[in-house]
Amino acid sequence: MKKAALITGASSGIGAATAIEFAKNGYFVYLMGRDKDRLAEVALQCRSGATLLSCELTDTKALDKRLNDMMNINIHRVEVVVNNAGIYKPGSVEGDTDEIWSQHFQTNLLAPVHIVRTLFPYFKKHGGGSIVNVSSTLGVSPVANTGAYSALKAAMINWTQTLALEGGPHKIRANCVCPGIVDTPIHSFHGLPETEKTKTLSQMASLQPLGRIGTPQDVANSIYFLGSDLSAWTTGASLSIDGGINLA
């Protein structure tokens, strides 16, 4: 039975790079996201094979159908799940609304919890599995006007540790990565005109001891390490991939 990995938010950025990285290493990949056309473009770069699981993560009925369809395919065994999908909306204490907090909670934490809760019996039945959650350096060291995002990313780190404790006896590992500033569509600068974007990136690069912001591939490499057997004796870890920004 061929090994497989489920990647959420796989249509662009870190998710797309992660899916391609797993495919390079022989994994069949399940690409989950909202944009079917962009998922299809990523699938073309996954030479080990890919299936599109197009759905909105907050639609639990649609999500359950996609997950059950995936688990019922007997030619692939899902060994890894990467909870990468997320949203980011800045807001101050007074400017935040219940809706903004709810959106962050539903997408950035509850959806990953739902996915893992659904896959946990499957992993136990098949003798183990690996969970990689994508948190953020803001979950470790928040900055102003990121309250909802930072709080939920901090919760993801704590939840990952709980998963490691509960999953250990069943050979289910759980780890998370904490990316810093990465050039992905989640950031507003990604859509700036090229000259403005170059200027903004230069300013941001100066914040990193390593002198540049991250690329999706930087994070994908670490996600693959934690998801695969390369890290077979690692669980409950939180790996910062941030160019050293939290040291500055």
- Domain edges within the chain: 2-179+216-240, 188-213
Mean pLDDT of 76-81: 97
The predicted pLDDT at position 39 comes to: 98
Q: Are 33 and 11 in contact (CB under 8 A)?
A: yes
The predicted pLDDT at position 43 comes to: 98
**Tokens of residue 169, six digits:** 């006896």
- Distance from C-alpha of 51 to C-alpha of 225, rounded to nearest angstrom: 22
What percentage of the chain exceeds 90 in pLDDT?
A: 87
Q: Which CATH number fits domain 2-179+216-240: 3.10.110.10, 3.40.50.720, 3.30.930.10, 3.30.450.20?
A: 3.40.50.720
DSSP conformation letters of 101-163: HHHHHIIIIIHHHHHHHHHHHHHHHTT-EEEEEE--GGGTS--TTBHHHHHHHHHHHHHHHHH
Segment 187-239, tens digit of pLDDT: 777 777 888 878 888 888 888 899 999 999 999 999 999 999 999 999 999 99
Instruction: Give the residue carrying structure tokens 């994994």.
Output: 27
Q: Which residues contact 15 (CB under 8 A, 6 or more apart)?
A: 7, 8, 9, 33, 82, 84, 85
Catalytic residues: 149
β-strands 172-179, 50-54: how paired?
Answer: unpaired
- Distance from C-alpha of 180 to C-alpha of 72, rounded to nearest angstrom: 36
Q: What's this model's pTM, rounded to 2 decimal places?
A: 0.96
Segment 140-155, tens digit of pLDDT: 999 999 999 999 999 9
- Distance from C-alpha of 225 to C-alpha of 25, rounded to nearest angstrom: 11
